[in-house]
Amino acid sequence: MHQLHTQTVGLPATITFAILAGLTVIGALFTITRRNPVVAVISLVGTFFALAGVYASLSAHFLAILQILVYAGAIMVLFIFVVMILNRDEITRVAARGMVRRGLGVVAAGYVVWLLASVVANSSATPLLGGPLSEPGADFGTVASVGASLFTDFMFPFEAVSLLLLVAVVGGLVVSRSEKQEDDAEETARRRAQVATEIRPESMVGGPTDATANHEAAHH
Protein backbone atom coordinates (compact mmCIF):
# COMPACT_ATOMS: atom_id res chain seq x y z
CA MET A 1 0.00 0.00 0.00
CA HIS A 2 2.93 2.34 0.30
CA GLN A 3 2.97 3.05 -3.39
CA LEU A 4 -0.32 4.87 -3.08
CA HIS A 5 0.72 8.38 -2.43
CA THR A 6 2.46 11.30 -4.03
CA GLN A 7 4.13 9.13 -6.62
CA THR A 8 0.88 8.51 -8.44
CA VAL A 9 -0.60 11.94 -7.82
CA GLY A 10 1.07 15.33 -7.61
CA LEU A 11 1.78 17.10 -4.36
CA PRO A 12 -0.77 19.92 -4.86
CA ALA A 13 -3.59 17.41 -5.31
CA THR A 14 -2.53 15.56 -2.16
CA ILE A 15 -2.36 18.73 -0.12
CA THR A 16 -5.75 19.90 -1.44
CA PHE A 17 -7.34 16.58 -0.60
CA ALA A 18 -5.76 16.55 2.85
CA ILE A 19 -7.04 20.03 3.66
CA LEU A 20 -10.56 19.37 2.35
CA ALA A 21 -10.84 15.98 4.03
CA GLY A 22 -9.56 17.42 7.29
CA LEU A 23 -12.09 20.25 7.17
CA THR A 24 -14.87 17.76 6.42
CA VAL A 25 -14.05 15.53 9.36
CA ILE A 26 -13.52 18.43 11.75
CA GLY A 27 -16.82 19.99 10.67
CA ALA A 28 -18.63 16.67 11.12
CA LEU A 29 -17.16 16.20 14.60
CA PHE A 30 -18.18 19.74 15.57
CA THR A 31 -21.70 19.07 14.30
CA ILE A 32 -22.32 16.14 16.56
CA THR A 33 -20.56 17.54 19.62
CA ARG A 34 -21.81 21.11 19.89
CA ARG A 35 -24.39 21.81 22.56
CA ASN A 36 -25.81 24.85 20.76
CA PRO A 37 -27.88 23.70 17.76
CA VAL A 38 -27.19 26.85 15.72
CA VAL A 39 -23.43 26.32 15.95
CA ALA A 40 -24.01 22.68 14.95
CA VAL A 41 -25.96 23.81 11.86
CA ILE A 42 -23.22 26.26 10.86
CA SER A 43 -20.52 23.63 11.25
CA LEU A 44 -22.58 21.28 9.12
CA VAL A 45 -22.76 23.99 6.45
CA GLY A 46 -18.97 24.22 6.62
CA THR A 47 -18.77 20.43 6.29
CA PHE A 48 -20.93 20.56 3.17
CA PHE A 49 -18.70 23.23 1.69
CA ALA A 50 -15.60 21.13 2.22
CA LEU A 51 -17.46 18.13 0.83
CA ALA A 52 -18.39 20.12 -2.27
CA GLY A 53 -14.67 20.78 -2.71
CA VAL A 54 -14.03 17.03 -2.45
CA TYR A 55 -16.71 16.37 -5.06
CA ALA A 56 -15.08 18.92 -7.37
CA SER A 57 -11.75 17.12 -6.97
CA LEU A 58 -13.61 14.00 -8.16
CA SER A 59 -14.57 15.86 -11.36
CA ALA A 60 -18.20 15.91 -10.19
CA HIS A 61 -18.72 19.60 -10.94
CA PHE A 62 -22.47 19.57 -11.26
CA LEU A 63 -22.90 17.61 -8.04
CA ALA A 64 -20.54 19.94 -6.20
CA ILE A 65 -22.60 22.99 -7.11
CA LEU A 66 -25.82 21.12 -6.34
CA GLN A 67 -24.42 20.22 -2.93
CA ILE A 68 -23.94 23.90 -2.12
CA LEU A 69 -27.15 25.04 -3.78
CA VAL A 70 -29.51 22.41 -2.31
CA TYR A 71 -27.85 21.07 0.83
CA ALA A 72 -25.97 24.06 2.21
CA GLY A 73 -28.25 26.69 0.74
CA ALA A 74 -31.73 25.26 1.21
CA ILE A 75 -31.90 22.26 3.53
CA MET A 76 -29.66 23.84 6.15
CA VAL A 77 -31.64 27.08 6.03
CA LEU A 78 -34.71 24.97 6.78
CA PHE A 79 -32.84 23.50 9.75
CA ILE A 80 -31.87 26.94 10.98
CA PHE A 81 -35.46 28.13 10.74
CA VAL A 82 -36.67 25.22 12.87
CA VAL A 83 -33.85 25.72 15.37
CA MET A 84 -34.81 29.34 15.79
CA ILE A 85 -38.48 28.53 16.20
CA LEU A 86 -37.71 25.91 18.83
CA ASN A 87 -34.84 27.93 20.27
CA ARG A 88 -33.81 25.71 23.08
CA ASP A 89 -30.37 24.72 24.26
CA GLU A 90 -29.99 21.14 25.27
CA ILE A 91 -29.46 20.81 28.99
CA THR A 92 -27.16 17.84 28.91
CA ARG A 93 -25.13 17.05 25.86
CA VAL A 94 -25.33 13.31 26.25
CA ALA A 95 -27.77 11.79 28.68
CA ALA A 96 -26.31 9.42 31.22
CA ARG A 97 -29.23 7.06 31.14
CA GLY A 98 -28.70 4.14 28.80
CA MET A 99 -25.16 5.31 28.18
CA VAL A 100 -23.64 1.87 28.28
CA ARG A 101 -26.09 0.53 25.72
CA ARG A 102 -25.48 3.45 23.38
CA GLY A 103 -21.75 3.35 23.90
CA LEU A 104 -21.79 -0.30 22.88
CA GLY A 105 -23.84 0.71 19.84
CA VAL A 106 -21.17 3.20 18.82
CA VAL A 107 -18.47 0.56 19.31
CA ALA A 108 -20.44 -1.85 17.15
CA ALA A 109 -20.79 0.82 14.44
CA GLY A 110 -17.07 1.44 14.64
CA TYR A 111 -16.41 -2.27 14.24
CA VAL A 112 -18.60 -2.43 11.14
CA VAL A 113 -16.77 0.53 9.63
CA TRP A 114 -13.46 -1.13 10.49
CA LEU A 115 -14.59 -4.29 8.68
CA LEU A 116 -15.58 -2.25 5.62
CA ALA A 117 -12.24 -0.47 5.63
CA SER A 118 -10.35 -3.75 5.87
CA VAL A 119 -12.32 -5.22 2.96
CA VAL A 120 -11.56 -2.18 0.87
CA ALA A 121 -7.90 -2.07 1.84
CA ASN A 122 -7.44 -5.74 1.08
CA SER A 123 -4.44 -6.34 -1.14
CA SER A 124 -6.59 -7.95 -3.84
CA ALA A 125 -8.61 -4.72 -4.17
CA THR A 126 -5.54 -2.52 -4.47
CA PRO A 127 -5.25 -2.60 -8.28
CA LEU A 128 -8.85 -1.51 -8.61
CA LEU A 129 -8.97 1.05 -5.83
CA GLY A 130 -5.42 2.05 -5.15
CA GLY A 131 -4.06 2.58 -8.58
CA PRO A 132 -3.89 5.82 -10.52
CA LEU A 133 -7.08 6.98 -12.16
CA SER A 134 -7.46 7.45 -15.87
CA GLU A 135 -8.19 10.94 -17.10
CA PRO A 136 -11.92 11.47 -17.37
CA GLY A 137 -13.49 12.63 -20.60
CA ALA A 138 -13.78 16.35 -21.18
CA ASP A 139 -17.47 16.30 -20.35
CA PHE A 140 -17.40 13.95 -17.38
CA GLY A 141 -19.57 15.34 -14.62
CA THR A 142 -20.64 18.42 -16.54
CA VAL A 143 -24.21 19.67 -16.41
CA ALA A 144 -24.88 18.68 -20.01
CA SER A 145 -23.78 15.08 -19.65
CA VAL A 146 -25.45 14.42 -16.31
CA GLY A 147 -28.58 16.13 -17.59
CA ALA A 148 -28.59 14.07 -20.76
CA SER A 149 -28.27 10.87 -18.72
CA LEU A 150 -30.96 12.06 -16.33
CA PHE A 151 -33.51 12.86 -19.01
CA THR A 152 -32.97 9.81 -21.20
CA ASP A 153 -31.99 6.74 -19.18
CA PHE A 154 -33.42 7.86 -15.86
CA MET A 155 -36.57 9.66 -16.93
CA PHE A 156 -38.89 7.55 -14.80
CA PRO A 157 -36.96 7.97 -11.53
CA PHE A 158 -36.76 11.70 -12.27
CA GLU A 159 -40.52 11.99 -12.56
CA ALA A 160 -40.97 9.76 -9.52
CA VAL A 161 -38.70 12.03 -7.49
CA SER A 162 -40.69 15.10 -8.52
CA LEU A 163 -43.82 13.33 -7.32
CA LEU A 164 -42.01 12.49 -4.11
CA LEU A 165 -41.14 16.14 -3.57
CA LEU A 166 -44.80 17.05 -4.06
CA VAL A 167 -45.76 14.44 -1.46
CA ALA A 168 -43.13 15.85 0.89
CA VAL A 169 -44.48 19.39 0.52
CA VAL A 170 -48.07 18.34 1.17
CA GLY A 171 -47.02 15.98 3.95
CA GLY A 172 -44.98 18.69 5.64
CA LEU A 173 -47.95 21.04 5.55
CA VAL A 174 -50.33 18.46 6.96
CA VAL A 175 -48.07 17.14 9.69
CA SER A 176 -47.17 20.56 11.03
CA ARG A 177 -50.69 21.89 11.25
CA SER A 178 -51.68 23.22 14.64
CA GLU A 179 -54.65 21.71 16.41
CA LYS A 180 -56.85 24.67 15.58
CA GLN A 181 -55.99 24.39 11.88
CA GLU A 182 -56.77 20.68 11.94
CA ASP A 183 -60.10 21.24 13.65
CA ASP A 184 -61.00 23.96 11.15
CA ALA A 185 -60.07 21.73 8.23
CA GLU A 186 -62.08 18.87 9.65
CA GLU A 187 -65.08 21.13 10.24
CA THR A 188 -64.98 22.49 6.69
CA ALA A 189 -64.73 19.00 5.23
CA ARG A 190 -67.63 17.77 7.34
CA ARG A 191 -69.80 20.72 6.38
CA ARG A 192 -69.07 20.28 2.69
CA ALA A 193 -69.93 16.59 2.86
CA GLN A 194 -73.22 17.40 4.59
CA VAL A 195 -74.27 20.03 2.09
CA ALA A 196 -73.35 17.80 -0.84
CA THR A 197 -75.37 14.79 0.30
CA GLU A 198 -78.41 16.14 2.10
CA ILE A 199 -79.90 19.15 0.35
CA ARG A 200 -83.24 18.34 -1.38
CA PRO A 201 -85.22 20.38 -4.02
CA GLU A 202 -88.52 20.54 -1.97
CA SER A 203 -86.74 22.12 0.97
CA MET A 204 -85.65 25.04 -1.20
CA VAL A 205 -89.18 26.55 -1.38
CA GLY A 206 -88.25 29.70 0.42
CA GLY A 207 -84.83 30.15 -1.13
CA PRO A 208 -81.38 29.00 -0.07
CA THR A 209 -81.54 30.54 3.39
CA ASP A 210 -84.69 28.55 4.08
CA ALA A 211 -82.99 25.31 3.08
CA THR A 212 -79.97 25.83 5.31
CA ALA A 213 -82.20 26.82 8.21
CA ASN A 214 -84.18 23.63 7.62
CA HIS A 215 -81.28 21.27 7.68
CA GLU A 216 -79.54 23.11 10.51
CA ALA A 217 -82.73 22.64 12.50
CA ALA A 218 -82.98 19.01 11.45
CA HIS A 219 -79.53 18.25 12.81
CA HIS A 220 -79.57 20.01 16.17
Q: Is 23 in the site for other proteins (CB under 8 A)?
A: no
Contacts (Cβ under 8 Å, ≥6 apart) of 9: 132
105-144 positions binding other proteins, by CB under 8 A: 105-106, 109-110, 113, 116-117, 120-121, 126, 128-134, 136-137, 140-144
Measured between alpha carbons, how far is 68 from 74 in angstroms, rounded to an integer? 9
Find the shortest distance in angstroms from Cβ 207 to other proteins: 35
User: Which residue in 25, 193, 195, 213 binds other proteins (CB under 8 A)?
Assistant: 25
* Cβ-contact 60, 141 below 8 angstroms: yes
Measured between alpha carbons, how far is 38 from 50 in angstroms, rounded to an integer? 19
Q: What is the DSSP letter of 136?
A: P
Nearer to other proteins, 150 or 193 (CB): 150
Q: Is 59 in the site for other proteins (CB under 8 A)?
A: yes
Which stretch in 64-72, 188-196, 199-207, 209-217 sits in contact with other proteins by CB under 8 A?
64-72
User: Which residue in 178, 196, 202, 219 binds other proteins (CB under 8 A)?
Assistant: 178
Number of other CB atoms surrounding residue 80 within 10 Å: 15
User: Which residue in 2, 11, 19, 81 binds other proteins (CB under 8 A)?
Assistant: 81
Rg, C-alpha atoms of the chain: 29
Measured between alpha carbons, how far is 7 from 30 in angstroms, rounded to an integer? 33
Q: Is 212 in the site for other proteins (CB under 8 A)?
A: no
